Amino acid sequence: MAYIMLAPVLVLLSVFVLWPAIQAVYLSFFDWSFYTSSQFVAWKNYANVLGDDRFWQAILRGLEFVLMTVPVSLVLSFLIASLAVSVSQKVSTLLKISIYIPSVISGVIASITFVMIYDYSGGILNALINIVGLPNQAWLGDPRWALGAIALPAVWLGLGISTLIMIAALLDVPQSFYEAAELEGASWWQRTRYITLPQIKNVLLFLLVTGFVGSIQQYELPLVMTAGGPQHATELPNLFIFNHFRQDTYVGYSIAAALLLFVVLGSISSIIFRIVNSEKLVD
Amino acid sequence: MAIAPTIPAIEPAAETQIPARRHHRRLTPARAAALVLKFVAGAIIVGLALFPLAWMVISGFKLRTEVVRTPFQFFPDVWEVQNYVQILSDPSFVRTLAITGLGAVIFTTGSILINSMAAYAFARLEFVGKRIVWPLVLMTMFIPGMTILLTSFIVVTKLYMLDTLAVLILPGLASAGHVFFVRQFYLNIPSSLEEAARVDGCGRWGVYFRVFLPLSKAPFVVVGIGSFMAYWNSFVWPVLTITNPDLFQVQQYLANFRGERSSELGLLIAGSALAAAPIIILFLIFQRQIIANIKMAGLK
């Protein structure tokens, strides 16, 4: 009886998640393609990945991208959440809806929209910087700007969820703390520094780690907007792996690279799990 | 086009609702200044968050030559519906919307059904192996997509599933996150309800269908919207597995359109606005439940 109810989920998870995960580990030790018989090569694929400058450059670029997106997202969502909990119910709802709407938009549509915003001769961004006297920039065509130009829609798409989680956290802080602080004459900064931030520490940590994991795995935006160019300036780790997979008929290298990335992300995920677990949110 | 009225409808509210949460206190100059500051900040946030979408919808009303032009202009000179009309009379676009919508509906229904059944079993039934299976299911939440994307592609290729509706629906249907989320909800349903139903002669299936399903509207909305959104917005998986234009998914269609017909920006932006509309409308309809559940969903 229980098994019949579980069967669809267990079968599908086994075939499309667990089996591919196991196969990934297996294939990473082989030279394998759709067209040839497989050959055991031990750690060769891993050695190739670890010895490949492009892999390391992609990882570094991923970290740079994290630095461009995560701190900005955390600060913005904290400020927006602070505003949302200090205004009337209706305004707060309006803020929540507006900030969350971008989160339901697909990466492709966001990409199309932002590519037009960045358009060299007719986009709004160049029109804006022209007002303050700066010359047009090729935002997506110039390696200096391209990664930042992808970070912007990434922040825009992701801000909604982190803000809503932050709002929930702020509402959990006991109101009496603030009343006491107000009696003592504490300023906004003092209340934030000594009450709010320590009280929402766990949520901040959670958002930091999920933000890191989500951000370093981003590849849909650069895939659509720039395909990784110009001069690999937007080739984030997963896009590097994905592009490699589509070009190389031997999949071992790509899979080994994905697994190496997974080792890093997996250890971070287990940290999250421990935090969430300690908060008694699981069971 | 359908979302056009919703955006102006939201923005004016900001101007009328801001004042006086603490109207019982005296309005000192400092307090008034803070109020004005909050109002300005709120308006900027709402404006910036909605700007790209508003701009997309409005650009769809421009003449094709006007969409990207120098000097930049936000509003069209003349509001034209030709882009929207033309993309909607393109059979390939309409077919893409229809086939994506069909897939999304099947995907959403199936996802709610199988994940909630599993959630019920994990929440309420005792069976041999539960202690091993449950952590295993949870573990699948933490396997990053890229690792198995590549080998999933190999698996579906070997199963001869390429270029079928099944390859779009089946691989993502079971979701540990959704099982977990619904299970949390089921754990909070009092077992006395269940026992009463058992006394009245309901079997396990009876309890699930007659007691749990009718109570599950809230988690089903969250799981349903999540599934619909995941299907409708998915891009990379269709690109890998679908080559038959009859089965193109909407995001894939838009990305291809951009690559192949790059001079027709007006049509592309109108198509994008139309493709974003169903998701935004669904969100606005169910925003209360979604926002209320975001904390739980976020901390899953």
Ordered structural domains, chain B, with CATH: 6-84 (no CATH), 90-260 (1.10.3720.10)
Contact across the interface for B146 and A241, Cβ inside 8 Å = yes
Task: Please give, rounded to a whole number of angstroms, the shortest distance from the CA of B214 to a CA of chain A.
Answer: 17
- Is residue A138 very low, low, confident or very high in pLDDT (cuts 50, 70, 90)? confident
pLDDT at A283 over 50: no
Does the residue A61 lie in any domain?
Answer: yes
Across the A:B interface, residue pairs with CB atoms under 8 Å apart total: 277
Does the residue A81 lie in any domain?
Answer: yes
The CATH number that applies at residue A249 is 1.10.3720.10
DSSP state of B140: G
Tell me the sheet residues that pair with A40.
A30
Q: What is the pLDDT of residue A155?
A: 95
The pTM (predicted TM-score) of the whole model is 0.86
Structural domain for A159, as ranges: 40-106+147-278
Q: For residue B68, what is the nearest residue in chain A, using CA coordinates? A: A122
- Is residue A276 very low, low, confident or very high in pLDDT (cuts 50, 70, 90)? low
Buried b (16+ CB within 10 A) or exposed e, B98-129: ebbeebbebbbebbbebbbbbbbbbbbeeeee
Among residues A201, A131, A215, the alpha carbon closest in space to that of A173 is found at A201
Q: What is the pLDDT of residue A132?
A: 87
Q: Give the pair of three-digit tokens for residue B177.
A: 């996150």
Contact across the interface for B144 and A261, Cβ inside 8 Å = yes
Q: What is the pLDDT of residue B244?
A: 92
pLDDT at A261 over 90: no
Burial of A70 (0-12, 13-18, 19+ CB in 10 A): buried
Contacts of A18 in chain B (CB under 8 A): 136, 140
Does the residue A71 lie in any domain?
Answer: yes
Contacts of B251 in chain A (CB under 8 A): 106-109
Contact across the interface for A122 and B157, Cβ inside 8 Å = no
Q: What is the pLDDT of residue B166?
A: 93
Q: What is the pLDDT of residue A212?
A: 86
pLDDT per position as a tens digit, A66-107: 999 999 999 999 999 999 988 888 888 999 999 999 999 999
pLDDT at A24 over 80: yes
Q: Which of B38, B42, B276 lies closest to A109 in CB terms?
A: B276
pLDDT at A196 over 60: yes
Cβ–Cβ under 8 Å, residues A244 and A232? no
Please tell me whether residue B278 adopts helix, strand or coil conformation.
helix
HEC per residue, chain A: CHHHHHHHHHHHHHHHHHHHHHHHHHHCCEECCCCCCCEECCCHHHHHHHCCHHHHHHHHHHHHHHHHHHHHHHHHHHHHHHHHHCCCHHHHHHHHHHHHHHHHCCHHHHHHHHHHHCCCCCCHHHHHHHHCCCCCCCCCCCHHHHHHHHHHHHHHHHHHHHHHHHHHHHHHCCHHHHHHHHHCCCCHHHHHHHHHHHHCHHHHHHHHHHHHHHHHCCCHHHHHHCCCCCCCCCCCHHHHHHHHHHHCCCCHHHHHHHHHHHHHHHHHHHHHHHHHHHCCCCC
Does the residue A175 lie in any domain?
Answer: yes
Amino acid at B267: L
Q: How far apart are CA A121 and CA A21, in angstroms?
A: 46
Non-local CB neighbours of A107 within 8 Å, separated by 6+ positions: A157, A220, A221, A224, B233, B235, B251
Non-local CB neighbours of A171 within 8 Å, separated by 6+ positions: A85
Measured on CA atoms in the order B105, B109, B112, B115, is the torsion positive or negative? Answer: negative
Angle value at C-alpha B28, between B27 and B33, nearest 5 degrees: 95
B71-78 long-range Cβ contacts below 8 angstroms, 24+ apart:
B71/A127, B72/A122, B72/A123, B72/A124, B72/A126, B72/A127, B74/A124
Q: What is the pLDDT of residue B178?
A: 92
Q: What is the pLDDT of residue B97?
A: 95
Does the beta carbon of A21 lie under 8 angstroms from any beta carbon of chain B? yes
Cβ–Cβ under 8 Å, residues B52 and A156? yes
Q: What is the pLDDT of residue A191?
A: 86
pLDDT at A34 over 70: yes
Contact across the interface for A238 and B146, Cβ inside 8 Å = yes
Does the residue A23 lie in any domain?
Answer: no
**Mean pLDDT for chain A overall:** 86
Among residues A241, A275, A239, A211, the alpha carbon closest in space to that of A28 is found at A241
Going residue by residue through chain B, which has 300 residues, state the pLDDT in tens, using 9 for 90 and above: 333 333 333 333 333 444 444 445 567 888 888 888 888 999 999 999 999 999 899 888 888 777 777 667 778 877 888 889 989 999 999 999 999 999 999 999 999 999 999 999 999 888 888 889 999 999 888 777 888 899 999 999 989 999 999 999 999 999 999 999 899 888 888 888 888 888 888 888 888 888 888 888 888 998 999 999 999 999 999 999 999 999 999 999 999 998 888 778 888 999 999 999 999 999 999 988 888 877 554 443
Does the residue A130 lie in any domain?
Answer: no
pLDDT at A270 over 80: no
Angle value at C-alpha A264, between A259 and A265, nearest 5 degrees: 90
Q: Which of B137, B144, B294 lies closest to A262 in CB terms?
A: B144
Contacts of B52 in chain A (CB under 8 A): 102, 110, 113-114, 117, 153, 156
- How many domains are there within chain A? 1
Does the residue A112 lie in any domain?
Answer: no
Q: For residue A76, what is the nearest residue in chain B, using CA coordinates? A: B45
Cβ–Cβ under 8 Å, residues A154 and A218? yes
> CA of B113: how far to CAs of B153, B203, B237, in Å?
25, 18, 23
Q: What is the pLDDT of residue B25?
A: 58
- Is residue A273 very low, low, confident or very high in pLDDT (cuts 50, 70, 90)? low
Q: Which of A19, A97, A108 lies closest to B255 in CB terms?
A: A108
For residues A50, A53, A56 and A57, what is the CA-based torsion angle, rounded to 10 degrees? -170
Contacts of A273 in chain B (CB under 8 A): 142
Contacts of A112 in chain B (CB under 8 A): 56, 254, 258, 268-269, 272
Contact across the interface for B50 and A266, Cβ inside 8 Å = no
Contact across the interface for B151 and A99, Cβ inside 8 Å = no
Does the residue A202 lie in any domain?
Answer: yes
Say which residue, A137 or A110, is predicted with more confidence: A110
pLDDT at A37 over 80: no
